[in-house]
Amino acid sequence: MIKVGVVGGTGYTGVELLRLLVMHPQVQLEAVTSRAEQGIPVSQLYPNLRGHTDLCFVEPTLEVLSRCDLVFFATPNGIAMQQVPQLLAEGVKVIDLAADFRLNDPAVWAQWYGMDHACSDLLAEAVYGLPEMNREQISGARLVANPGCYPTAVQLGFLPLLEAGLVDTGSLVADTKSGVSGAGRQAAVGSLLCETSESLKAYGVAGHRHQPEIEQGLTSIAQSSRHNSAIELTFVPHLTPMIRGIHATLYAGLSVQEADLQVLFEKRYEQEPFVDVMPEGSLPETRSVRGANVCRIAVYRPQGRNRVVVLSVIDNLVKGAAGQAVQNMNIMFGFVETAGLDMVAIMP
């Protein structure tokens, strides 16, 4: 049993994390922080947690958080890096669900996030928390950078192809769609029901923050497999009129003609508890992963031509955020990796 704190427990990712933690057999929830909601019962803001926790929101002080074995940061970008050095010095492990430790280069961080990094010396130590790629490193980490939602769906879809060196890495395409909860719990015109309902639109076409994270991860995969071709990714996200879900349609030109892509994906993920390679001809739906820590994947070679199409779906708040964070916690503390995550997706 470990003591766990959550910094930033009022957003969608935060409450999803709390939903998973209060049911986890190895977790004692020690503190949930929010400066704005300090003193208010957590279950008052989120009634779905009634009967599962009697904690009130508290201020995120070092005194409070240092009592924990692990602290999750479910905060906006730029917050975690202000407190992480002190927590690590106190022997507290950290999983950051924001982007503060995802990028290796502080100059790239500053370019995409518009601020200097407060503890760039820790970037080399932070482990990128995609278990299907970095499980061994995660197990020994004290600081884990939880991947973004788009990067999770995209990297899991491309990973087997890059490891096997089967595709042209200079012309990768990721056409992705996200539910509105990906924008966070905030009052913004673009997230209003009347603005998003019955509509579909692209955004971030000229450049999106998740692009350097995805390219960094794909480059790491290719290099670890000794396929050192440069990664060039066209990444276009879209906003869809649903609450949860990521659908990534991925395209790549094949450089090897005779590969059995279905077998390749099945073998690569046969031991992965949270990646489901669907039967040939399947069309994964976002609703099939709603509320579950699962990435469902289907792979196609349309008309037998020289192009592979991968369909990858996740729940952006679970495998794309809170569920993956709990999966990383399980690995870090030697728990069964599926502990607290054996949820069946919610349908309809």
pLDDT attached to residue 117: 97
Rounded CA separation 219/163 (Å): 10
The number of C-alpha atoms within 13 Å of 68 and in the hemisphere containing its C-beta is 28
Among this protein's residues, is 149 annotated catalytic?
yes
SS3 57: strand
Which residues are registered as beta bridge partners of 249? 175, 311
pLDDT attached to residue 229: 75
Instruction: Give me the catalytic one of 56, 68, 119, 149.
Output: 149
Evaluate whether 104 touches 216 at the Cβ level (below 8 Å): yes
Rounded CA separation 346/292 (Å): 8
Rounded CA separation 35/51 (Å): 23
CA dihedral 98, 5, 291, 265 (to 10 degrees): 60
> What's the pTM value of the predicted model, to 2 decimals?
0.97
pLDDT attached to residue 257: 84
Peptide bond before residue 241 is cis, with ω within 30 degrees of 0:
no
Those residues whose C-beta lies under 8 Å from the C-beta of residue 270, and which sit 6 or more positions away, are none
SS3 40: coil
Alpha helices of the chain — where are they, by DSSP H?
12-21, 42-45, 62-65, 80-89, 106-113, 131-139, 149-163, 193-196, 210-224, 261-269, 323-332
pLDDT attached to residue 73: 98
**Residues counted in the chain:** 348
Question: Nearest Cα to 231, choosing from 289, 168, 273?
Answer: 168
Average pLDDT for runs of 10 along the chain of length 348? 96 96 98 94 96 97 98 97 98 98 97 97 98 98 98 98 94 96 79 87 95 96 79 96 97 92 98 98 98 98 95 98 98 98 94
pLDDT attached to residue 185: 78
φ, ψ at 266 (rounded to 5°): -60, -45
Rounded CA separation 153/158 (Å): 9
Rounded CA separation 264/281 (Å): 15
Alpha helices of 165-260 — where are they, by DSSP H?
193-196, 210-224
Could you tell me the maximum CA-CA distance found in the chain, to the nearest angstrom?
A: 63
> Going edge to edge, which strands form the sheet with 57-58?
57-58, 27-33, 2-7, 70-73, 93-96, 143-145, 127-128
For each of the domains in the chain, give its residue range(s) and CATH number, in order of start. 2-125 (3.40.50.720), 150-316 (3.30.360.10)
Rounded CA separation 167/331 (Å): 31
186 burial level (CB within 10 Å; 0-12, 13-18, 19+): exposed
Evaluate whether 269 touches 131 at the Cβ level (below 8 Å): no
Determine how β-strand 201-202 pairs with β-strand 233-239: antiparallel
Evaluate whether 21 touches 4 at the Cβ level (below 8 Å): yes
pLDDT attached to residue 228: 66
Those residues whose C-beta lies under 8 Å from the C-beta of residue 98, and which sit 6 or more positions away, are 73, 74, 75, 76, 77, 78, 79, 80
